[in-house]
Amino acid sequence: MSQATLPRSPGIDMLRGVSIALVVIHHLGLRLPLHKTGAAGWVPVFILKGLIFNGYEAVFLFFVVSGFLITRHTLERDGALGTIDWRSFYARRVARIAPCLLGILAILLACHALGVPNYVIDAGRQSPGGATLSALTFTLNVYEGHTGWLPGGWDVLWSLSVEELFYVAFPLMCLGLGKTRWLVPLLLLLVFSVPFTRAAIVDNEIWQEKAYLPGMGAIAAGVLAALFTARHGVLPRRARRVLAVIGVVALALVMFSGGWLWHAIHEGYMLVLIGSAVCLVLAAPEGGNAPRGGGWLRSMGRASYEIYLTHMFIVFALVGVARMTGTDTVWGWVWYLPALGLCWLLGGLVSRYVSEPANRALRARMLKPARAVATV
């Protein structure tokens, strides 16, 4: 399969920005419920609840975007999934993921050792060593499923476990099935299995939310979207507008239906969510045709990984200030914009001065030997 090199998409960056903004709002909303503040006097309650209770769905939106981006970049570099350079793929993943992850784990362990509130692992079946090992082996979701919820700063790493385990298997899947007709049916099977794999888990709330297969189904949908784009090219503007409308309406239905959609189709609502994300990915403007006024969202999207790993530090700090000042009830809504701004700032600083320099240095070190071996 061959395709032209695709330009950077500001629309994709905006989707990532929306996802991470919803995650921040969700984690703040669990502690400062927006619908219980003064905002309920001038904004409908169902909208406020929709904003703060869809962090899980926002992660699934990001899974689809992630699968799309990783596949698109692989196609640009290697020409086809069946000819993927697996050594370079793994090197790039390590360079991108490891520096920030190791840094966050070191900070979390230090906070635990110092007894900082909200960071101490004190459940009977949990330990700092067990949580760290599970995070490094991408099994933190399994660890929580067996031992219970971890403190918030640790808990966010569950989605990284799902995502990175998929990418551990991705090159093997591409090399094994990329030159056959089985790859697309397998990916479709993974996507449409999402409602059934979620419904099959009935006795463990944590595992139902954080199991591997549902999240991997969302990533697989992004892979399929990238394969579609590579084969058919960027869709005409009118088609993209139609997909954008469908995607926004479906996403709004998932977020603001107030439970009606779930009662109607139960776990099938996840397929609506994934379908919405695919529509938005395919509709995302390419090149410089970005919606006006969305620069801050695109910036958040580009630093979404760093924001995701660090945002709980801001959330816990602001919640503490709100409670000390008595602004955690009626005036709790005033903390949402500062939270988004500070999370954006912290994530941007970590990206600029830590993860990106480390990423470049590690790629330069690890990719040179791979190229040399390939040349020989």
**What pLDDT, in 10s, does the model give residues 296-309?**
899 999 999 999 99
Taking phi first (over 0 means left), then psi (-120 to 50 degrees means alpha), and beta for anything else, what does residue 117 get?
beta
At 25, list the tokens.
């709002």
At 279, list the tokens.
């529509």
Q: Is the dihedral of CA 261, 267, 269, 273 positive or negative?
A: positive
The torsion angle over the Cα atoms of residues 195, 196, 199 and 200, rounded to 10 degrees, is: -160
Taking residues 66-95, what's their average pLDDT?
94
Rounded distance between C-alpha atoms, residue 355 and residue 81, angstroms? 27
* Per-domain boundaries in the chain: 10-375
Listed residue (134, 138, 157, 159) closest to 147, CA to CA: 134
| Residue at token pair 């966010």 | 156
Q: In the chain, what percentage of residues exceed pLDDT 90?
A: 84
Mean model confidence pLDDT for the chain: 91
Rounded distance between C-alpha atoms, residue 315 and residue 63, angstroms? 23
> How far, in Å, are 171, 181, 185, 262 from residue 284 at the CA level?
26, 28, 25, 27
**What pLDDT, in 10s, does the model give residues 294-349?**
788 999 999 999 999 999 999 999 999 999 999 999 999 999 999 999 999 999 99
**Res. 50: pLDDT tops 60:** yes
> How far, in Å, are 65, 72, 164, 221 from residue 84 at the CA level?
20, 12, 17, 19
Taking residues 150-156, what's their average pLDDT?
96
**Res. 35: pLDDT tops 80:** yes
**What pLDDT, in 10s, does the model give residues 99-131?**
999 999 999 999 999 999 999 998 888 999 999
pLDDT value of position 287:
60
pLDDT value of position 374:
40
193-199, Cβ contacts within 8 angstroms, sequence gap of 24 or more:
193/217, 194/218, 194/267, 194/270, 194/271, 194/274, 195/266, 195/267, 195/268, 195/270, 195/271, 196/267, 198/267, 198/270, 199/266, 199/267
